[in-house]
């Protein structure tokens, strides 16, 4: 019987224990994401490039290819990458210890076999000293236990982030997985234009960054960690950052402002060990949004119009 303990629902994610798998999986998701990017019509703030959490892993969602569509799914239960085409064709690539170059070759070969030829930019984004996918023999780790564990954390975060998203009726992104960082994120918009972003994100064109931050935002996300911050965290930032934002009082007590990253951070460990992890995330999300929107003079009365809850709507249907 499946266990339902907090440790199973919110498993430990010590970055040092899976950093090599994290780095390899990051690059594999970039390959899938760049396939979607190449073939999908542009949507504001690069929303057309993201992946989405599923009941088994991550998906690109349907990608157009001429009059056909196909979908790329990471399955972190059976540890397969599946490519499903609308004419019934499908191929699988095993998720196992293998180099990025080998994975890239296998994925592109599977696409060619399905008559889904595509050419992507093979240089990773947002990574210092990137190695082209077809030449990367350095990153080759895959621990299925930790890949599955990472996905299970994403499942919980996706669920709670969607609850937070439902409280807002202004412009808001989907809850989606950006493969550049990588992070799971949901972003609220004030409806006003923002100052020109300075850019400067490694191996990401400034024009892309500036379009992404062309409007005022308050963004919430989950990041699994990297060498620059070797721990899993929740984060929340505002762009542009209003005066006094860094001194705002936010919840829970474990949250703090990180001056280097210019965002509030909440360690994942503080969430998974909390009495109610859901409440810890929602308190962090709401209090940091409160700080951004109040200090930034957002029109909250319009953006947070009262509406009946889904529960109430069901009761009266």
Ordered strands of the 176-178 beta sheet: 176-178, 183-193, 215-223, 233-239, 263-267, 256-258
Angle, alpha carbons 31-43-178 (nearest 5°): 40
pLDDT at 88: 98
Q: How far is CA 132 from CA 10, 46, 95, 116, in A?
A: 34, 22, 20, 21
Asked whether 23 and 29 are in contact (CB, 8 A), the reply is no
* CA neighbor of 219 nearest in space, from 270, 293, 119: 293
pLDDT at 3: 44
- Predicted TM-score (pTM) of the model is 0.94
| Cβ neighbours, 10 Å, residue 135 | 12
CA 301 to chain centre: 29
Q: How far is CA 186 from CA 47, 75, 110, 125, 264, in A?
A: 11, 23, 32, 20, 15
- Residue partners of 67: CB distance under 8 A and separation at least 6: none
pLDDT at 2: 45
Half-sphere exposure of 11 (CA within 13 A, CB side): 18
In a structure prediction context, what are the per-residue pLDDT tens digits for the chain, which is 317 residues long? 344 567 789 999 999 999 999 999 999 999 999 999 999 999 999 999 999 999 999 999 999 999 999 999 999 999 999 999 999 999 999 999 999 999 999 999 999 999 999 999 999 999 999 999 999 999 999 999 999 999 999 999 999 999 999 999 999 999 999 999 999 999 999 999 999 999 999 999 999 999 999 999 999 999 999 998 999 999 999 999 999 999 999 999 999 999 999 999 999 999 999 999 999 999 999 999 999 999 999 999 999 866 666 555 555 55
| Cβ neighbours, 10 Å, residue 73 | 20
**Structure tokens, 33:** 């994401």
Query: Burial level of 157, CB count in 10 A (0-12/13-18/19+)?
Result: buried
Find residue 74's DSSP bridge partners.
58, 81
SS3 assignment, position 155: helix
- Reported in sequence order, the residue ranges of 129-207 that DSSP labels E, i.e. its strands, are 176-178, 183-193
- Indicate if the alpha-carbon torsion angle 164, 36, 183, 10 is positive or negative: positive
pLDDT at 307: 65
pLDDT at 308: 66
**Residue whose token pair is 């430990």:** 12
Asked whether 220 and 186 are in contact (CB, 8 A), the reply is yes
Could you give the CA distance from residue 133 to residue 228 in angstroms, rounded to a whole number?
Answer: 22
């Amino acid at each position: 019987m499946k266990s339902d303990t907090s440790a199973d629902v919110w498993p430990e994610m010590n970055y040092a224990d899976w950093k090599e798998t994290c780095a390899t999986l990051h690059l594999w998701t970039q390959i899938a994401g760049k396939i979607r990017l190449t073939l999908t019509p542009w949507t504001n703030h690069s929303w057309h490039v993201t992946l989405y959490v599923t009941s088994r892993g991550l998906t690109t969602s349907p990608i157009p290819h001429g009059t056909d569509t196909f979908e790329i799914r990471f399955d972190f239960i059976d540890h397969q990458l599946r490519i499903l085409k609308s004419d019934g064709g499908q191929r699988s690539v095993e998720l196992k210890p293998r180099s990025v170059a080998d994975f890239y070759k296998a994925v592109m070969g599977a696409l060619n076999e399905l008559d889904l030829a595509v050419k992507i930019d093979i240089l990773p984004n947002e990574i210092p000293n990137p190695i082209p996918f077809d030449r990367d023999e350095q990153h080759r780790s895959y621990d299925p236990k930790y890949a599955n564990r990472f996905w299970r954390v994403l499942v919980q975060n996706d669920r709670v982030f969607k609850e937070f998203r439902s409280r807002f009726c202004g412009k808001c992104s989907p809850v989606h997985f950006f493969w550049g960082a990588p992070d799971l994120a949901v972003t609220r918009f004030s409806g006003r234009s923002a100052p020109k972003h300075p850019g400067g994100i490694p191996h990401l064109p400034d024009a892309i960054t500036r379009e992404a931050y062309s409007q005022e935002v308050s963004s919430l996300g989950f990041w699994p960690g990297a060498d620059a911050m070797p721990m899993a965290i929740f984060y929340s930032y505002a762009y542009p950052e209003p005066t006094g934002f860094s001194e705002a009082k936010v919840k829970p007590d474990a949250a703090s402002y990180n001056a280097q990253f210019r965002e509030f951070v909440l360690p994942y460990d503080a969430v998974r060990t909390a009495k109610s992890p859901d409440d810890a995330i929602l308190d962090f999300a709401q209090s940091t949004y409160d700080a951004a929107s109040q200090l930034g003079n957002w029109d909250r009365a319009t953006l947070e119009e009262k509406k009946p809850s889904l529960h109430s709507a069901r009761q009266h249907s």
